[in-house]
Each structure stands twice: as structure tokens, then as C-alpha cells.
């Protein structure tokens, strides 16, 4: 069957744990992170066009639609590799907060690779896509598959973990944009004294212990981002006061998430954050398994 259109969902991630082990000679940071997909997603539609070129349309007025969009970069990479003479039209419905520490751009790029692989019957394996994707961003190999993963190296060494126990999340993005580069440049990786217990968290996840997991939430990047934006700490405190087992900043921030055993408590906490205008975007959501694509 000749396929002219296909769709993909691009899911956001949070970091249940984020440790930085050292800064490498080449400026990259060696990380040890627990990545978790959450049920907040962008939608992408891909259409073949006779006219060559990559055209991007989006409902989000802030995003570039030219070669600066990661979707463009991902499409261009695959279409050049495979020497595709046709063109593609890509429509993005954006829901994942931007510059938020939720890998929205990386996830769109990963969804684009999956989508075009199918649309043009390119024949890449998942591993092929991951190897190509890391050229565009360290989080892209993870975003190709999603789910629960230990991520090491610069983010490209991935080990799957079982899904954590069911729970509810409040995800709150304050009205500030944080540059990932700024945060890493201001992190003094070699003088960090406190490190999250990533190994202990993996054990807790394997044992199915929500308490063991929430006791070990930790992110070394909080030191940099919270110093700059104290509202992040205020949101964490509010989420905890409103019944969260624990709360943490995701990635380089500024998005904060709280983990709840009870859905009603999560909804109440989200209302409080909204009423106090502490965040511009607030979601009540759940973890999302990796989808067998
Ligand atoms: P990460 O968790 O990987 O650091 P992030 O959530 O901090 O990601 P993104 O939303 O992925 O940050 O993107 C940050 C910047 O990348 C934005 O300033 C945006 O202009 C640019 N960008 C390019 N393409 C996209 C895209 N498809 N979606 C979101 N941002 C994009």
C-alpha cells in the first residue's frame, strides 16, 4: 500500500533522578539519569508531497518553522541519508511546555524520525534511528523509544527499567524559560558534594516501591536553576504541602513535578498552583509506558 500520510505522538519526559558525574574534556557532561515518559504529548502528522522540501506548520506561535526547528533537522538528516527526492509536510500540535526540561524538542525530533521511517519506508531499525538521532541531541535516542530508562554517558547509553508503581503527577511550568546550556555551564560538576541515590532508586523501581522511589528523587541541576529562580522551590513546597509524596525539578528546569498516590489530592494541588499563579502551565497526568512502535 502506498502510504501518503502517517501520524506520531511525541511524549514529554521527566527525570526521576538526574546526576552529573563529571565534565568531560570536550565540554559534554557525563550523566546518570532516570528518564520517565509522562502522558503529555505533541501530535505530528506527516504527508508526502510531490514538491521537494520540508514544510513545517504548527499551532504554536513561538516556535520556528525553518531549519532551526528540531523537526526540520531530523527530517533533513533522514531524507538526505536516504536520498529522498519527494517532499514532506509536517503539522505539529504543540502541548509540551517549551524550554521546560521536558525534552519537547527532542521528542518531536524522535517522532519525526519514526514517522518518516514509516512514511517513506526507509527500513531503519530502532537502533539505527537512535544512532542517527544522537547527532542532533543527547536525549533523542531515549525519546525514540521512551518508557522508563537508566540513561548514562552523555545520555546515549540506555538500559530499560520496569515501569514504576502507578501514581498521579502534577506537572507545573512556571512562566520562565531556562536554557539547558546556561544551567550546565553554571554547574560545577567536580565540586558537587550531594549526589542522588540513582542505584537505590533503580532498586526501588524494580521492587515496585513508590515510597522507595519518592524518597530518592534528586536532581543536581536544581542547585543552579533554583538559585536563579526561587519560584521553583516555592512550587515544590506547595506541591508537598498539598499532599505530594515528594516533588522535584525536571531536567534543567524550570518544570516541577509532584508525585501523588491519590488523584483527588493531585487535582487539588494543581488547583492551588493555578490559583496562586505560580505556574503558566499545569497538568495532572500519569506515567506513560513505552509504546511498541
Ligand atoms: P530538554 O529537556 O531537552 O532540555 P527543553 O524542554 O529544555 O528540552 P525544548 O522545548 O526542547 O527545551 O526546546 C528548547 C529550544 O529549542 C526552544 O527555545 C525552541 O525554540 C527550540 N526548538 C526547536 N525546535 C523545537 C521543537 N520542535 N519544539 C520545542 N522547541 C524547539
pLDDT above 90 for 259: yes
Q: How far apart are CA 262 and CA 5, in angstroms?
A: 40
Q: How far apart are CA 86 and CA 285, in angstroms?
A: 39
Please write the tens of the pLDDT for every residue from 109-146: 999 999 999 999 999 999 999 999 999 999 999 999 99
Q: Taking CA 127 as the corner, what is the angle to CA 124 and CA 128, rounded to the nearest 5 degrees? A: 40
For residue 291, the model assigns a pLDDT of 65
**105, 155, 176, 183: residue to mutate for ligand 1 pocket, most atoms within 8 A of CB:** 105
Nearest Cα residue to atom 25 of ligand 1? 105
For residue 189, the model assigns a pLDDT of 84
Q: How far apart are CA 123 and CA 125, in angstroms?
A: 7
The 8-class DSSP code of residue 102 comes to S
**CATH for the stretch 5-160:** 3.30.230.10
Q: How far apart are CA 85 and CA 49, in angstroms?
A: 10
Q: Which residues are known to be catalytic? A: 13, 139
Q: Give the atom of ligand 1 at the shortest distance from the alpha carbon of 100.
A: 6
Q: Give the atom of ligand 1 at the shortest distance from the alpha carbon of 13.
A: 2
Pick the CATH number of 168-285 from 3.90.1150.10, 3.40.50.10070, 3.30.470.30, 3.30.70.890: 3.30.70.890
For residue 1, the model assigns a pLDDT of 52
Quick check: 134 and 140 in contact, CB under 8 A?
Answer: yes
The most distant pair of C-alpha atoms in the chain lies apart, rounded to whole Å, by 58
Q: Give the atom of ligand 1 at the shortest distance from the alpha carbon of 94.
A: 28
pLDDT above 90 for 82: yes
Indicate if ligand 1 lies below 6 Å from the C-beta of 58: no
Which has the closest alpha carbon to 267: 290, 289, 244?
244
Cβ within 8 Å of residue 153, ≥6 positions away: 30, 31
- The structural domains of the chain, with segments of one domain joined by +, span 5-160, 168-285
For residue 292, the model assigns a pLDDT of 53
Please spell the DSSP secondary structure of 32-52, one letter per residue.
Answer: EEEEEEEEEEEEEEEEEESS-
Distance 96 CA to ligand 1 centre (A): 10
Amino acid at each position: 500500500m502506498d502510504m501518503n500520510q502517517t501520524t506520531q505522538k511525541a511524549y514529554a519526559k521527566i527525570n526521576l533522578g538526574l546526576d552529573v558525574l563529571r565534565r568531560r574534556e570536550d565540554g559534554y557532561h557525563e550523566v546518570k539519569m532516570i528518564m520517565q515518559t509522562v502522558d503529555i504529548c505533541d501530535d505530528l502528522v506527516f504527508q508526502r508531497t510531490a514538491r521537494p522540501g520540508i514544510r513545517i506548520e504548527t499551532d504554536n506561535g513561538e516556535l520556528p518553522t525553518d531549519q532551526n526547528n528540531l523537526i526540520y533537522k531530523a527530517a533533513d538528516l533522514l531524507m538526505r541519508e536516504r536520498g529522498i527526492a519527494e517532499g514532506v509536510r509536517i503539522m505539529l500540535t504543540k502541548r509540551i511546555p517549551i524550554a521546560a526540561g521536558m525534552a519537547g524538542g527532542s521528542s518531536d525530533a524522535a517522532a519525526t524520525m519514526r514517522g518518516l521511517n514509516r512514511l517513506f519506508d526507509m527500513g531503519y531499525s530502532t537502533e539505527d534511528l537512535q544512532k542517527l538521532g544522537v547527532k542532533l541531541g543527547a536525549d533523542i535516542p531515549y525519546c525514540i523509544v521512551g518508557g522508563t530508562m537508566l540513561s548514562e554517558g552523555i545520555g546515549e547509553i540506555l538500559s530499560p527499567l520496569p515501569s514504576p508503581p502507578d501514581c498521579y503527577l502534577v506537572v507545573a511550568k512556571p512562566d520562565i524559560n531556562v536554557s539547558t546550556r546556561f544551567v550546565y555551564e553554571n554547574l560545577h560538576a567536580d565540586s558537587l558534594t550531594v549526589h542522588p541515590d540513582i542505584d537505590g532508586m533503580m532498586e526501588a523501581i524494580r521492587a515496585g516501591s513508590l515510597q522507595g522511589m519518592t524518597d530518592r528523587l534528586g536532581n543536581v541541576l536544581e542547585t543552579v536553576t533554583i538559585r536563579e529562580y526561587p519560584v521553583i522551590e516555592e512550587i515544590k513546597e506547595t506541591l508537598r504541602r498539598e499532599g505530594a509524596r515528594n516533588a522535584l525539578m525536571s531536567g534543567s528546569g524550570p518544570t516541577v513535578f509532584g508525585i501523588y498516590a491519590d488523584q483527588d489530592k493531585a487535582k487539588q494541588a494543581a488547583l492551588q498552583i493555578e490559583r496562586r499563579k505560580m505556574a503558566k502551565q499545569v497538568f495532572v497526568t500519569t506515567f506513560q509506558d513505552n509504546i511498541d512502535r
